Amino acid sequence: MPLGPASRCRTIEIPTIQDSRGNISILEGAEILPFTVKRVYVLHNLVENQDRGSHAHKKLHQIITVTTGSLVVNLDDGLSKKSFKLDKPTIALYLCPMVWRTLTDIAANTTAFVLASEMYDENDYFRVYEDFYAAALGKAHS
Ligand code: TYD
């Protein structure tokens, strides 16, 4: 069975410096940041268990991590599905293009931040699963 892009999505351990005053987690360098960041956005004031996402991006690369709380990122590339729980700011998830993602199991007081490879572009979204699925299967068989 061919591997889809979800196989390239992976957790990243964020190097963290700890001392008696607290911790600093640092995202830098190509190992940790596999793309040039053009946009940063923060998900905050999230409503507990109110799912978000439910879309895919055509070209966008992203890294998501939570600073407080927890959530589950569910991935589907049309060929396979997998889920990652994010619950600490020392672990991030790299999301590559052409992966349908849904954020579920959002705990109370969760704050997440997202690093993105491009500025916001509505044309980069698939918002209808069937459209995404047809494009994903087309790519898998081309
Ligand atoms: P969206 O990416 O659809 O997030 P979710 O799937 O979690 O709802 O974004 C929600 C809205 O915010 C949508 O109208 C697009 C807008 N938006 C921007 O204008 N700029 C951005 O950088 C982002 C991430 C969203």
pLDDT digits (tens, 9 = 90+) for 28-60: 999 899 999 999 999 999 999 999 999 999 999
Could you report the per-residue pLDDT of 113-140, keeping only the tens digit for each? 999 999 999 999 999 999 999 999 987 6
Q: What is the predicted pLDDT for the residue at 5?
A: 86
Determine the Cα–Cα distance for residues 132 and 78; give it in Å rounded to an integer.
8
In this structure, the residue with its CA closest to atom 10 of ligand 1 is 53
Which residues does a 6 A CB cutoff place in the pocket of ligand 1? Answer: 39, 41, 52-53, 55, 120
Could you report the per-residue pLDDT of 2-17, keeping only the tens digit for each? 678 888 899 999 999 9
Determine the Cα–Cα distance for residues 22 and 74; give it in Å rounded to an integer.
31
Band of pLDDT at residue 142, cut at 50, 70 and 90: low
Average pLDDT for residues 18-34, to the nearest whole number?
A: 95
Burial class (CB in 10 A: 0-12, 13-18, 19+), 99: buried
Cα–ligand 1 centroid distance for 84 (angstroms): 21
Q: What is the predicted pLDDT for the residue at 95?
A: 97
User: Residue 1 pLDDT more than 80?
Assistant: no
